[in-house]
Amino acid sequence: MPATIIDGVAVSRSILAELKAEVDALRSSHGVVPGLVTILVGENPASVSYVTRKIKTALELGFHEVQENCDPDISEADLLALVRRCNEDPSIHGILVQLPLPDHIDEQKVIYAIDPDKDVDGFHPVNVGRLVLGGDEVRFPPCTPAGIQELIIRSGVELNGAEVVVVGRSNIVGKPIANMLLQKNARANATVTVVHTRTRDLAAHCRRADILIVAAGVAGLVKPEWIRPGCCVIDVGVNRVGEKISSRTGKPVAILRGDVDFEAAREIAGSITPVPGGVGPMTITMLMKNTLASCKARL
Ligand code: NAD
């Protein structure tokens, strides 16, 4: 039987509706709405597109949205001063600095300058530490891993005691999702293995997985024979493999593929996320969730 497709767009839409209801309730009860500042340096097309989608979603939810579009040659000192002003601004609950930054700016310095209590991306080392400690310490789980966890739970896939294999050990996906799923709580409690470029037998590890999370950035890396029948496959990879002309706009658009051979894998897996339309839409949704949580924590 072909796998159930985990529809990230639909799950995302239902979470956004829940968040909208909470924002409306906050506005009526406290006269406050979550405030998000999006800081964009330069005009990198991918960054502009991500930021535009974040702004649109924030406005749809009724957030106070502040756009800071900086010149590509803004100095590091000026950017740090902008971050500090946002730290001090009581109407701002979340600060998002769109990465990557231009080469003349030290990304780490900028991330470290964000007030950890407004770091809704969850990249500040204080929040990384809180995530590892788990429990009530966790303030802002990073958005893509938080979206993955939510997709698994809302699809009804059992995490408690599950064998989870994570392909990739990056700071933004692999390491945080592994940490989140091994925590002692009902939304986790998994046995987690992380595999990477130096792992001896990738296929053998993947074949053990009840839940296989792939974040390598290599199109079609995971072959169908690596997938255990009935496995829940979460494909985080977004790889441009070519271009096509959009039938809607008549303009060229990227052809995107995940890290898993989707068509073959869906014949074996129990459930699987498509690319696009799986993990992708969840990332922005979880950014909104973190900003709302930050606002509520301030009250
Ligand atoms: P990264 O390059 O920082 O890390 C990739 C990891 O995969 C590394 O740890 C590396 O060791 C491992 N890896 C690479 N090739 C491998 C191989 N052949 N065998 C085993 N391990 C291998 O990437 P990242 O930032 O974690 O992103 C991974 C993918 O997820 C990319 O395609 C990225 O575009 C995508 N992504 C999607 C979202 C989303 O919202 N959907 C968010 C973040 C990243």
Out of 121, 210, 259, 261, the active site residue is 121
268-273 mean pLDDT: 98
The chain-wide mean pLDDT, for the chain, equals 97
In a 10 Å sphere around its CB, with 0-12 CB exposed, 13-18 middle and 19+ buried, how is residue 128 labelled?
middle
The b/e string for 182-194 (b: 16+ C-beta within 10 A; e otherwise) is: bbeeeebebebbb
pLDDT of residue 277: 97
Instruction: Reply yes or no on whether 54 is catalytic.
Output: yes
pLDDT for 5-32, tens place per residue? 999 999 999 999 999 999 999 999 999 9
pLDDT on residue 141 = 98
103 in active site = no
Angle at 268 between CA 231 and CA 266, to 5 degrees: 95
Place of tokens 């310490």: 137
Catalytic residue status for 98: yes
**12 pocket-lining for ligand 1 (C-beta < 6 Å):** no
In the prediction, which pLDDT does 223 show?
Answer: 96
Encoded amino acid at 206, one letter: C
Q: How far is CA 49 from CA 31, 56, 61, 281, in A?
A: 31, 11, 19, 13
Q: Residues 44-55: pLDDT tens digits? A: 999 999 999 999
Secondary structure of 89-128 in HEC code, one letter for each residue = CCCCCEEEECCCCCCCCCHHHHHHHCCHHHCCCCCCHHHH
Count Cα neighbours of 271 within 13 Å in the Cβ-side half-sphere. Answer: 19
Instruction: Evaluate: CB of 202 within 6 angstroms of ligand 1.
Output: yes
SS3 36: strand
Q: Residue 52: what residue type?
A: T
Host H or E run for residue 253: strand 252-257
Please check the confidence at residue 1 and state whether its pLDDT lies above 90: no
What is the model's pLDDT at position 75? 98
Any atom of ligand 1 within 6 Å of the Cβ of 237? yes
Rounded CA separation 153/113 (Å):
34
Quote the pLDDT of residue 169: 98
What pLDDT is stored for residue 238 in this prediction?
Answer: 96
Q: Best substitution site from 170, 171, 262, 273 to test ligand 1's pocket, by max atoms within 8 Å of Cβ? A: 170
Q: Is the pLDDT of residue 143 over 90?
A: yes
Q: What is the DSSP string of 125-138?
A: HHHHHHHHH-GGG-
133: CA distance to ligand 1 center in Å?
24
* In the chain, % of residues over pLDDT 70: 100
Mutate to test the pocket of ligand 1, among 53, 96, 151, 173 (most ligand atoms within 8 A of CB): 173
238 CA distance to ligand 1 middle (Å): 9
Q: How far is CA 271 from CA 151, 152, 181, 278, in A?
A: 11, 10, 18, 11
Distance (Å, whole) CA 101 – CA 103 = 6
Q: What is the per-residue pLDDT across 175-217, written as a single tens digit (0 to 9) for each? A: 999 999 999 999 999 999 999 999 999 999 999 999 999 999 9
The alpha carbon of 270 and the centre of ligand 1 are apart by a number of angstroms equal to 23
CB atoms within 10 A of CB 56: 12
Residue 171 CA, ligand 1 centroid: distance in Å: 10
pTM beyond 0.95, yes or no: yes
State the DSSP string of 7-19.
Answer: -HHHHHHHHHHHH
Q: DSSP readout, 205-233?
A: HHHT-SEEEE----TT-B-GGGSPTT-EE
* Residue of the CA atom closest to atom 10 of ligand 1: 168
Mutation test of ligand 1: which of 96, 150, 165, 197 has the most ligand atoms closer than 8 Å to its C-beta? 197
Burial of 48 (0-12, 13-18, 19+ CB in 10 A): middle
pLDDT, tens digit (0-9, with 9 covering 90-100), for 79-97 = 999 999 999 999 999 999 9
The answer on pLDDT for 63 being more than 90 is yes
**Closest atom, ligand 1, to C-alpha of 218:** 15
pLDDT on residue 119: 98
Average pLDDT on 132-138 reads: 96
